[in-house]
Amino acid sequence: MGKLTLAQHTTDVAGIFTNASQRDTAEAALSAARTAVSNQLLTLADLTIRFPRAIEGQLEPDSDLHQNIEDCRTIEPNTPENAVARGRKVIILLTAFNAERAAATPPDPEFSIKNAVANAPDMKLADLQTLVDDMPDLEQDVEDAKSALNKQRSALKKLSTKVDKNNKRWFDAWSGNFPDGSDELAALSQIDTGPHTPAPSALVINTVTPAAGGHFTAAYVGGGGNHATTLHLQWKVVGVDAEFGHDTLVVLAGQSVATGATTGATVIFRTKAANSQGTTYSAEKTGVAQ
């Protein structure tokens, strides 16, 4: 049949499953990269709020460092960029405060605050500096993961289209090559040519329950997401995200996600069910971060 051979077609069909697996791996990598940024944001937001507050309580009323504290508070650490900017201001404040402590008689030790992680070492200037320095790399990891996912999706779509066209070529060639009543033509009746798989049904979110640090636990209504080849939980933080720019793979039994939202922020969730026939979004569910 022209340049198309059965061996090549068989290889292409098998390649669809390989490409789909690679796409799923790329989607998981993007989800992990976004989670890393969200967790880093939560930690930075926590430290850049608590360090100035803790220092303020130890300053004399006429200390020049009060102005540094006000400078820190001009930036709300609700995005990675803002958290880094505020972190740099807190580093300036903390460096100056440590210098004052070192110059005291007798010298005071380097200032630290309790770690939010139980039984972990106290947090100091070097820890904050590392968090600030690492954030751009984590954001780049997200962009790299997006690029890798787009590449895998494109490869899967290209190969799927090729196989679909060749399937039709095989069918047309076979049906036109053999006479009515032949066993070969009768074999075509075993090939399902339609109807197509329907678009997926929505996976309904039952509840989103807030927990400390901008985390939420999502629970789903059973029986949704039928015919979906991929299921994602998506969210956006009101006043921060213009679109649903965050997502992770759905865990049907329920899952906890770090949204990166600060206390009091409204977070809107939805699910995305997709297959080759289309995409279906669930109704939105709203929660308020703690």
Summarised one tens digit per residue, pLDDT across range 69-84 is 999 999 998 889 999 9
DSSP state, 289? Answer: -
The DSSP bridge partners found for residue 235 are 246, 269
pLDDT at 110: 97
| Cβ-Cβ contacts under 8 Å for 67 (sequence gap 6 or more) | none
Judge whether residue 188 has pLDDT over 80: no
Please check whether residue 201 is in contact with residue 273, taking contact to mean a CB–CB distance below 8 angstroms. Answer: yes
Q: Compute CA distances 134 → 121, 159, 287, whole Å.
A: 19, 38, 29
Q: Are 12 and 162 in contact (CB under 8 A)?
A: yes
Report the share of the chain in percent with pLDDT over 90: 54
Q: CB of 218 within 8 A of CB of 234? A: no
Please, are residues 83 and 41 in contact by the beta-carbon 8 Å criterion?
yes
Give the ranges where the chain is alpha helix by DSSP (H).
Answer: 6-56, 65-72, 80-103, 125-177, 183-187
48-106 pLDDT tens trace: 999 999 999 999 999 999 999 999 999 998 889 999 999 999 999 999 999 999 999 99
Neighbours of 91 (CB within 10 A): 17
Lowest mean pLDDT among 6-20, 189-203, 232-246: 189-203
Tens of pLDDT, residues 112-147: 999 988 889 999 999 999 999 999 999 999 999 999
* Three-state DSSP class for residue 269: strand
DSSP per-residue letters across 36-90: HHHHHHHHHHHHHHHHHHHHHTTS-TT-THHHHHHHHTTS---SHHHHHHHHHHH
Closest listed residue to residue 199, CA positions, set 81, 263, 280? 280
Is residue 205 helix, strand or coil? Answer: strand
Contact 76, 262 (CB under 8 A): yes
Cross-strand bridge partners of residue 284: none
Question: Which residues in 115-145 are b (16+ Cβ under 10 Å) and which e?
Answer: eeeeeeeebbbebbbebbeebeebbebbeeb
pTM over 0.85, yes/no: no
Instruction: With H, G, I as helix, E, B as strand and everything else as coil, classify residue 28.
Output: helix
Confidence of residue 269 (pLDDT cuts 50, 70, 90): very high
CA distance 172 to 255: 48
Structural domains in the chain, sorted by start: 1-193 (no CATH), 197-288 (2.60.40.10)
Three-state SS at 249: strand
